């Protein structure tokens, strides 16, 4: 269960040393490397696309939006979905390898973004061009 694994990574039950012993670690090594940058990626105001799955016919990713960030000289793709309200969550993220997932996607201009700390309820406006 991927959800449980990520929860156990987040709370420290599963350590990086344990993850590195997996036979499949080489397949996820780059994602694990960039995992500490996930919040920074979500908070950034880099390029946002309305994600059109049909433009990437070989992809199985179901998402509403795609963010493209450049960190550590690598393009990173972050796929977001909407929870039918005003909240968005990460579906997937990974560094660019062979395929540019932003190709043929409609670029959007970000006007407003805030984040909510779920443990405290504190809201922080990250970006506001609506004035």
pLDDT in tens, 9-40: 778 888 888 888 888 888 888 888 888 888 88
Of 5 and 91, the structure prediction assigns the larger pLDDT to: 91
Instruction: Give the predicted TM-score (pTM) of the model.
Output: 0.77
Residue 43 is predicted with a pLDDT of 85
Is residue 104 predicted with pLDDT exceeding 80? Answer: yes
Give pLDDT, residue 86.
77
Residue 24 carries which DSSP code?
T
C-alpha distances in angstroms, 48 versus 2, 22, 58, 65, 118? 26, 34, 21, 7, 24
Cβ within 8 Å of residue 46, ≥6 positions away: 67, 68, 69, 70
Average pLDDT over residues 78-88: 86
Give the confidence band of 77 by pLDDT, cuts at 50, 70, 90.
very high
Q: What is the DSSP letter of 51?
A: -
Give the burial class of 112: count Cβ atoms within 10 A of its Cβ; 0-12 exposed, 13-18 middle, 19 or more buried. Answer: exposed
pLDDT of residue 42: 83
Is the pLDDT at 45 greater than 80, yes or no?
A: no
């Amino acid at each position: 269960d991927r959800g449980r694994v990520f929860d156990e990574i987040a709370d420290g039950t599963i350590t990086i040393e344990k993850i590195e012993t997996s036979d499949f670690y080489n397949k996820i090594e780059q994602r694990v490397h960039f995992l500490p940058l996930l919040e920074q990626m979500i908070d950034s105001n880099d390029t946002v696309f309305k994600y059109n799955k049909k433009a990437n016919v070989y992809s199985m990713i179901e998402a509403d939006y795609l963010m493209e960030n450049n960190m550590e000289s690598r393009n990173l793709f972050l796929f977001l979905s909407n929870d039918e309200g005003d909240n968005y969550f990460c579906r997937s993220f990974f560094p660019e390898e062979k395929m540019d997932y932003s190709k043929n996607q409609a670029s959007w201009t970000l006007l407003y973004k805030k984040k909510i700390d779920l443990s405290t309820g504190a809201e922080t406006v990250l970006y506001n061009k609506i004035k």
